[in-house]
Amino acid sequence: MQHFQQHYGPWALVTGAAQGLGEAFARALARRGLRLLLVDLQTEPLEALAAELRQQGVEVEAHTVDLADNAAVQELLAAVGQKEIGLLVANAAYSVVSPFLEQSVENHDRHIDVNVRSSMHLVHALGGAMVQRGRGGVILLSSASAGQGSPLLASYASSKAWLQVFAESLHLEWKARGVDVMALLPGATDTPAFRDSGAMPRRVQGMTVMPPEPVVEEGLKALGTHPFWIAGRSNRWSSGFLHRVFGRRFAMRVYGNAVRRLYGVEEKT
């Protein structure tokens, strides 16, 4: 615990913190003694979480920010001020499950703005200070969908693949300088966003839907050791088995069929 505070404290910035994995990260980091700067688009649940954590003696700042707006991201960075951010958890994500051409180009832009551009700007602004101090950490929330192409998730999965490669690259650049960078790849996770997406996991044989808390605990345990981490033993096994034994094209077909079943969409011929 003390080592965690010394290496990743005193402040952690968590985006998408109001619910789901972001909320689980906030609670886990509070238990580890970090001060929290929490960011989300939804004001009411964000303020409720912040108030609850303050009652537990945690120092918390809450900021309502639309991460798709670059000016708002810059305002957030200005609000950070002189706070020493030792850990960045870029968890916020935008996701629409739908065929590519049935979404507007503005929708696709938002996938890039929230998932990619805001994360890159935050890492660039906050990571430089970490490198100068010779300590710190960055967790970028990727996804199991990053491992291969997927129908219905073209922009989302592509943005998550970008985050994984970005994390791996910075892992190689910054590890020797004392800063740990890792991509965390959850599979199906029981979050409000997953439930609201219309997913029907019972349609997919063998699919495991993990609670947020073990995903977060696995990620925090893997930070500092791995450049990326697939959450869930069954997810790690199935991903490794499909890609190593059968190859990427077969993995694409298997994963794509699972996504279609998950959302009740038949393949068009």
Total domains, the chain: 1
Residue 269 lies in a domain: no
Domain assignment present for residue 16? The answer is yes
CA distance 212 to 18: 13
What is the predicted pLDDT for the residue at 269? 45
Contact by Cβ (8 Å): 193, 172? no
Residue 156: active-site member: yes
| Mean pLDDT, 10 residues at a time, the chain of 269 residues | 91 98 98 98 98 98 98 97 97 96 97 98 98 98 94 97 98 98 97 93 89 98 97 91 86 92 79
Answer whether residue 268 is part of any domain.
no
Q: What pLDDT score does 268 carry? A: 60
Q: Per the domain annotation, does 97 fall within a domain?
A: yes
Structural domain boundaries, residue 216:
2-262
**Environment class of 205 (CB within 10 Å of its CB; exposed 0-12, middle 13-18, buried 19+):** exposed
Domain contains 55: yes
Classify residue 71: in a domain, yes or no: yes
- Residue 115: what residue type? N
Q: Determine which one of 8, 94, 156, 255 is catalytic.
A: 156
Which residues, other chains included, contact 25 with Cβ-Cβ below 8 Å and sequence gap of 6+? 14, 17, 89, 91, 139, 216
* Cα–Cα distance measured from residue 215 to residue 95, given in angstroms and rounded to the nearest whole number: 19
List the alpha helices (DSSP H) in 134-247.
Answer: 154-174, 192-196, 212-222, 233-241
CATH of the domain at 109: 3.40.50.720
Identify whether 142 is part of a domain.
Answer: yes
